[in-house]
Amino acid sequence: MKCIAENTAVYAFSGRNQSTRDIRGTSGDPFSTSNITNTGTGYTYELGFLPAGDYTLAIACDASNDTANLTESIQFIGKQSITIGQGESFSADFLDN
């Protein structure tokens, strides 16, 4: 992964192929976020309790610079769309990004 550091997170936006952006406190904000953790043997994240539906996931390389209700320029990589069924879990791999 190109930008993994302590301040990296996965952002989940509601809907397929959505535009990525920082958290501004308005519509279009990510539905959920999760810090990426270095386990020593790889990286992991968990986005819990997402309702069934379509989402766009992306890695925010400098998530610690994202202050709610302000507009910042956050670098995103690895954008991909997923669909989650009712009661299902999912896995999205960003290794090639």
Average pLDDT, the chain: 89
Give 8-56 as a DSSP string: -EEEEEESTTPPP----SSTT--SEEEE-EE-SSSEE-----PPSEEEE
For the chain, domain boundaries = 9-84
In angstroms, the Cα distances linking 33 to 13, 41 are 9, 22
Please write the tens of the pLDDT for every residue from 41-82.
888 899 988 999 999 999 998 898 898 889 999 999 989 999
Q: What is the pTM of this model?
A: 0.89
> CA 55 to CA 9: how far, in whole Å?
16
